Structure 1
Amino acid sequence: MKLTSIIAIYLLFWVMSAFVLLPFGVKTPDEAGIAKVPGQAESAPVNFRPGRVALRATLLSAVLTGLYIANYIQGWITVDDINFFGTPPGYGES
């Protein structure tokens, strides 16, 4: 596997991880006991920390990329393992 492929896979995992981790640890004004600003949305976060989300996404995506590369090298899960419906009729015929 080329280095550029590894970087691309890492970046895809990073973006996906960042979006998955966004709602964790965030509190609304009602949960934090803070008065709302007029016009503020009910669900607006009070303690949003983008640096913490980025750090957690970096760590999670590094682990996921490592597992992906290990699977690529070792072949633990292949296409045949996740092909639940079998070979489609007429596939591979010329």
Structure 2
Amino acid sequence: MVNAISSGFAIYFVVWWITLFVMLPFGVRSQHEDGEHVPGTDPGAPVMPLMRRKLIGTTIVSMIIYGIAAWAYYAGLLNVVRLSRLMGFSG
């Protein structure tokens, strides 16, 4: 039981980080695009990164992705035989 819980947390952790990296570029305007360059900074630096909003959005989206994956696993849709067939291995 403890192994299943820790594996679930590890999988959610990976899903959360992948989702964060996907969401980072959305809604970001650089100083170059905005036209207001602060001296001593890179023109590609974001004006407002909106990290709080992205962290909350990442948590919500990753919960949905993890929930769908967990449902598919417990429904028997994600098993070794089915996934090996999808990847082209004989099984």
Tell whether the 8 Å contact from 2:12 to 2:66 is kept in structure 1 after alignment: yes
- Unmatched segments (≥5 aa) in structure 1: 89-94
User: After alignment, is 5-14 or 55-64 more displaced?
Assistant: 5-14
Query: Could you say which residue in structure 2 is the equivalent of 1:83?
Result: 87
Q: TM-score, normalised by structure 1?
A: 0.78
Tell me how many residue pairs correspond in the alignment: 86
Give the CA deviation at 1:33.
3.1
Q: Percent identity?
A: 32
- Residue in structure 1 matched with residue 43 of structure 2 by the alignment: 42
Q: Which of structure 1's runs of 4+ aligned residues deviate more than 3 A? A: none
Indicate whether 1:3 and 2:25 are aligned: no
Shift of 1:32: 2.2
Unpaired stretches in structure 2, ≥5 consecutive residues: none
Max radius of gyration: which structure?
Answer: 1
Mapped to 2, the partners of 1:67 and 1:81 lie a distance apart of 21
RMSD: 2.0
TM-score, normalised by the number of residues in structure 2: 0.80
Q: Which has the higher contact order (CA 8 A, sep 6+)?
A: 1
